Amino acid sequence: MAIISSKKQPNDRDKAAAPADKVSVMAQAVSQAVSHGKPEKTTILQAEPEPEERSKQEEKIRPQCLTEYIGQKDLKDVLDIAIRAAKSRQEPLDHLLLYGPPGLGKTTMSLILAQEMGVKCKIASAPALERPRDIMGLLISLQPGDVLFIDEIHRLAKVAEELLYPAMEDFRVDIPLGKGKSAKMQSMSLPPFTLVGATTRVGALTSPLRDRFGLIQRLRFYEIDELTEIVLRTAALLKMNITQSGGEEIARRARGTPRIANRLLKRVRDFAEVKAFREIDRDIAAEALQLFNVDPCGLDWTDRRLLSFMIERHNGGPVGLETLAASTGEDAQTIEEVYEPYLMQIGYLSRTPRGRVATAAAWKHLGYTPPDTHQMTLLP
Ligand SMILES: Nc1ncnc2c1ncn2[C@@H]1O[C@H](COP(=O)(O)OP(=O)(O)OP(=O)(O)O)[C@@H](O)[C@H]1O
Ligand SMILES: [Mg+2]
């Protein structure tokens, strides 16, 4: 059976069959990664989409309906009920706020909701709705029942947010006629619609906006078995040959995030293609991801640097966020929003009122002996 889109049918593990240019690109990447004894920073594990991940091929692997959407059982149960109830009443869904770290499936879920309701989904990003007429134009163009998806909704400008209030509550938009104090408001009614807001920072939403959502749902990091299912599903769509354990190996390193899982799978595919392996198994997946400096727990160089700094210089912590940022050269917000959520999720880091603490599991993972486990658990 042909695997990975390679046109050749090479012999099993026939390394000589690898095209020279691809090998040299890969070798260059590796040598860069290990130069000066210090691996370069990698973006492979960042959950934000890369430009090519907005392409048509990405749309092909995006789940299209609720049954294809893997994991997030609680969220799916809630939405399944909401969809059935709304359909039976022939009403649009209640406004929905989805929050959680990047790459967990917020945009995907909103497209699925529209699909399940049999309506269109209009997608906008809050920073692009700068002027009142941007949001007004969008609202006026809605058809009955449509889903309006606003990404990064915590970044909505104040004027745009205020225009949304009556639209969400009464399906009405107030258009100012004239300027200054003499301006009059003309109300225009809108068809009933569903606003789906997505945010990675729910705490940054104003409470009047948050309160106008009937459903507020959090997306969680995915479990290994769920991510394995996602990897195997994507591999099937991309016509790749991969074993269950190969899928699991990729899943384990994907930081609980489907977008990263799919990205790692593609890098493993490149590796297998270049090395002319016919099937991706656990060893091949591990070897490929090691090359990209992704360790067996999905930590990259920055994660390890943050933890090593806490362990080596502060005996595990507590260390203040600003100290951590200044000493490692990372931006405090990036540490807080990109690195910490996953490190906390896998139990390698905890936040205390006095600062960040590297847990005993983190010490062990990095090859250090934790001081006294009993003493560590007593830390505030
Ligand atoms: N539950 C899932 N099952 C299968 N694949 C998924 C699932 N959730 C997400 N994906 C895949 O992961 C990719 C990223 O998902 P999506 O774009 O919906 O994330 P997001 O939460 O909107 O991210 P961001 O916060 O960056 O906007 C999608 O292209 C999709 O293929
Ligand atoms: Mg999105």
Q: Hey, whose CA ends up nearest to atom 29 of ligand 1?
A: 62
HSE-CB of 19 using CA atoms within 13 angstroms: 9
Sketch the domain layout of the chain as residue ranges. 56-218, 224-292, 301-366
Please state, in angstroms and rounded to a whole number, the distance separating the CA atoms of residues 86 and 80: 10
Backbone angles phi, psi at 250, to 5 degrees: -70, -45
Comparing 97-101, 182-186, 199-203, the range with the smallest average pLDDT is 182-186
Burial (0-12, 13-18, 19+ Cβ within 10 Å), 282: middle
Q: Closest Cα to atom 12, ligand 1: which residue?
A: 259
Closest CA to 168 of 86, 91, 94: 94
210 neighbors 173 (Cβ within 8 angstroms): no
Please tell me the number of the ligand nearest to residue 50's CA.
Answer: 1
Average pLDDT, the chain: 86
Looking at 1.10.3720.10, 3.40.50.300, 3.40.366.10, 3.90.180.10, the CATH number of the domain 56-218 comes to 3.40.50.300
Nearest partner of 110 among 75, 158, 155, 81, judged by Cα: 75
**Which atom of ligand 1 approaches the CA of 72 most closely?**
1
The pTM of the whole model exceeds 0.85: no
Where does 11-105 have alpha helices with state H?
A: 20-34, 56-61, 73-89
Identify which has the larger pLDDT, 244 or 329.
244
- Coil, strand, or helix at residue 186? strand
Please write the tens of the pLDDT for every residue from 345-378. Answer: 999 999 999 999 999 999 999 999 998 754 555 4
In this structure, the chain runs to a length of: 380
Atom of ligand 1 at shortest distance to CA of 110?
18
Radius of gyration of the chain (CA): 24
Query: Given this model, what pLDDT does residue 27 score?
Result: 38
Taking the C-alpha atoms of residue 334 and residue 331, their distance in angstroms, rounded to an integer, is 5
- Angstrom distance (rounded) from CA 96 to CA 148: 10
> Is 61 a known ligand-binding residue?
yes
Catalytic positions are 106-107, 151, 200, 259
CA of 29 to the centre of ligand 1 (A): 27
Which of 3, 122, 107 has its CA nearest to residue 62? 107
pLDDT at 17: 38
* Local confidence band at 64 (pLDDT 50, 70, 90 cut-offs): very high
Check pLDDT > 60 for residue 2: no
Q: What is the C-alpha separation between 99 and 299, in angstroms, rounded? A: 23
Helices (H) and strands (E) in the chain, counts: 17, 9
Ligand 1: residues whose CB is within 6 Å?
48-49, 58, 61-63, 69-72, 102-108, 151, 198, 200, 230, 258-259, 262
Nearest atom within ligand 1 for CA of residue 200: 25
User: Could you read off the pLDDT of 206-219 as tens digits, one per residue?
Assistant: 999 999 999 999 99
The closest residue, in CA terms, to atom 31 on ligand 1 is: 62
Quote the ligand 1 centre to 108 CA distance (angstroms): 5
Closest CA relative to residue 129, chosen from 106, 153, 110: 153
Domain 224-292, classified CATH 1.10.8.60, yes or no = yes
Among all ligands shown, which has an atom nearest to the Cα of 259? Answer: 1
Is 12 assigned to a binding site?
Answer: no
Distance 106 CA to ligand 2 centre (A): 5
Q: Ligand 2 is a single-atom ion; what residues have CB below 5 A from it?
A: 107
**Is 301-366 a domain of CATH 1.10.10.10?**
yes
